Chain A
């Protein structure tokens, strides 16, 4: 969104982009898992973080923003969403999450579908979510298409990175999409990769399973230059997916969901495969989630797995704003006998630097380390606490509007029916 900074600057109060700004006096969270820093300082220039920490020299001439009594953190990076793709879930024409009647799948690029005008973008921006990993859903095959990373800025340039990964369904959903069983799923996967291999040298087959663009779009998966996000839940299925890496050693896998990951956490850690986990699944909602427990994330983390929080099949088009609550609940587990949770710092990292790193943007977003984009949120309290709220949001150093149609409706109806004219005249 950088090149729109000038256009936005006219509309938005205090751009941090052009000048050097010091945010002082607040409780600063770097986002890398470290503990919050009392009375920390964050220095921003040209839309990037220059420095953040305890004893930072403030450059002469820097504008100052007083954050005393507040928390200063990197913007939340929502680890798995379908944000921007949906106006209203049940209104099909406004819902671009999947395309079951398309002849294509692997090659579908979700980026053009990300609409910064859908209400969910403003609602999540106002809640402190500044970036989101956006995945297509799988409609007609095990592959759903190519996902992206977006920002929630109030502009027409939401895409941080397109073609960031390919999305694939494994487990029960993948088996259904492949024709009805896991063997069918594995056959579809192997056939697809074989066709991609041929496509990479210009060989296409008359009886191919994949359309030509889909086979070509799989080439970067085959050679490992694009990540493959695999939705998988059960311990047994996770082991099958990890096993694929033995057959295709160049695959760059990320597990999504992974409700039973804790049961095979050492194997996931050994395979060095990161996980974008559903944080609070604790019900045996399906036969692939029988051993669900909220301790899943904590146990995987303790076993050495890199774990971020994602929200697959969990209102992920709209409710990335629950990421902070989910992370806070994992901290709550540290007080529950027998449960395994996360430290506060690790919990915050699971919704900031870890998902950024997993999607390959750890150098760009997700923390207040030097050089990162100045996605910064000022909170009136502990950001993982459900009673806290956002005070200010900057994305790429640009201060963002926090008004949403929800706040507009709220203000209209503070005194419903009162006044000389109908409520429709209150605006």
Chain B
């Protein structure tokens, strides 16, 4: 274990036997100190019959049946029939898809109500804050989780720190299942992410205080100096040298070793291009550029580098770096062979990611980029799962994967369609027909509108 020597100097100085024992043990610290305690809720073997299915990896099945049991997808069969011991749900006229995965959410760290006391997404006390972890901010009682589930069909999501900082901190990927603490929501086995940010936000937040960075070149300088430190830190670790525990450097060292995935808020094509070279300079990889409104300008480069773009359909113009947004960004990235993702960054938008995908598909077709509906669903489930490092577990309906499934009451790429039922790990967590299968956050208990259809 390369991290065995990472005891603190203070600890190392202790003379008593206990300390000596600790020092002798490996590893010296726990890399998973807030482990997931998520568990799947009880489920019954289920067959959804006579339904149109998008499997999340680009395939479509008509009049088919999806089977799942023990929390896992068993398979899809054309003209499938009921099997003994299975609850049968007739999906005639309805659609089944993998649950939507939002790669960019602030539910929990900027929860509702959006009062100052809940503003937990930006540790804007320094532009370099890789030591903070979003999971330590996530309020598991955010009412937004229930809306994302019931109206959006969202079954998993990444909660990111905000974009005030160049290095915003670690993200956390969660199942969209309420729990008493964040550990109870954490997606088992999901890697951590690191939030980074390009452009206007860091230079505005710190520049306005007379601090570095004040410019885009300042952004890059601070980034590079930080990565240089991280490379040096990791070199010491790899050689087994004693280093003081440094939470910021621990995160960055794990990025350099590929254990933590980089999620980089970056709007402009030129800045994304610089980040790509910076990643090569220091030896890490960017998983996904978030917002990425100018990905269409460098779609070829993004395809070559294997970097995903997480995008909106038509959000634009709120700041200079979003001024060049176009409605065809998503289909043009897809057309170039790059990884396209529909994301929200918004507690309302997360309820309508399927509608954003629908807009993008239609806008693409109007310029001759013909993406089928079933291919477009990769933008909502499989591609975000890849970007989060969980595509082996969820994001499509391949046998053995988590049964994270939405039954839609119509074509899910229509404004007129809503989730009918949502299963997470095979457990029915939302049923439009049953008010008791609609989660109500603690905050809403005993207040007007408690338990209402939202």
Chain A residues near B448: list those with CB within 8 A: 235, 260, 263, 290-291
Contact for A321 among B314, B325, B355, B417, CB less than 8 A = B314
- Is A339 in the interface zone, CB < 8 Å from B? yes
A88-B317, A315-B318, A387-B358 known; A290-B327 Cβ under 8 A: no
- Is B29 in the interface zone, CB < 8 Å from A? no
- Is A285 in the interface zone, CB < 8 Å from B? yes
- Is A59 in the interface zone, CB < 8 Å from B? no
Contact assessment for B453 and A410 in the assembled complex, using a CB-CB cutoff below 8 Å = no
Give the contacts of B293-334 with A (CB-CB under 8 A): 296-300, 314-320, 323-328, 332
Shortest CB-to-CB span from B409 to chain A, Å, is 6
- Is A370 in the interface zone, CB < 8 Å from B? no
Contact assessment for B113 and A386 in the assembled complex, using a CB-CB cutoff below 8 Å = no
Chain A interface residue number, banded? 35 or more
Contact assessment for B415 and A329 in the assembled complex, using a CB-CB cutoff below 8 Å = yes
Count the A-B residue pairs with Cβ separation under 8 angstroms: how many?
153
A331-B416, A387-B362 known; A284-B444 Cβ under 8 A: yes
A88-B319, A290-B449 known; A416-B415 Cβ under 8 A: no
Shortest CB-to-CB span from A128 to chain B, Å, is 13
- Is B18 in the interface zone, CB < 8 Å from A? no
A284-B143, A329-B415, A335-B409 known; A293-B453 Cβ under 8 A: yes
Contact assessment for B320 and A410 in the assembled complex, using a CB-CB cutoff below 8 Å = no
Contact assessment for B454 and A292 in the assembled complex, using a CB-CB cutoff below 8 Å = yes
Contact assessment for A294 and B454 in the assembled complex, using a CB-CB cutoff below 8 Å = yes
Bound form: Cα–Cα A284–B146 in Å: 12
Contact assessment for A386 and B418 in the assembled complex, using a CB-CB cutoff below 8 Å = no
Shortest CB-to-CB span from B184 to chain A, Å, is 22
- Is A406 in the interface zone, CB < 8 Å from B? yes
Contact for A416 among B296, B324, B447, B452, CB less than 8 A = B296
A284-B443, A416-B296 known; A318-B416 Cβ under 8 A: no
Bound form: Cα–Cα A315–B315 in Å: 9
Contact assessment for A413 and B332 in the assembled complex, using a CB-CB cutoff below 8 Å = yes
Bound form: Cα–Cα A321–B315 in Å: 10
Contact assessment for A283 and B362 in the assembled complex, using a CB-CB cutoff below 8 Å = no
A282-B454, A293-B452 known; A325-B355 Cβ under 8 A: yes
- Is A332 in the interface zone, CB < 8 Å from B? yes
Chain B residues near A406: list those with CB within 8 A: 316, 325-327
- Is B359 in the interface zone, CB < 8 Å from A? yes
Residue of B nearest to A283 (CB): B112
New A-B contacts (14) at CB < 8 Å, excluding given A315-B315, A321-B314, A406-B326 = A282-B454, A283-B348, A285-B112, A290-B444, A293-B453, A295-B452, A329-B352, A332-B417, A337-B433, A386-B415, A387-B361, A413-B297, A413-B326, A414-B367
Give 13 CB contacts A-B under 8 Å.
Answer: A88-B319, A123-B317, A286-B113, A286-B114, A287-B115, A292-B449, A315-B318, A318-B317, A332-B418, A336-B432, A387-B414, A406-B325, A417-B300
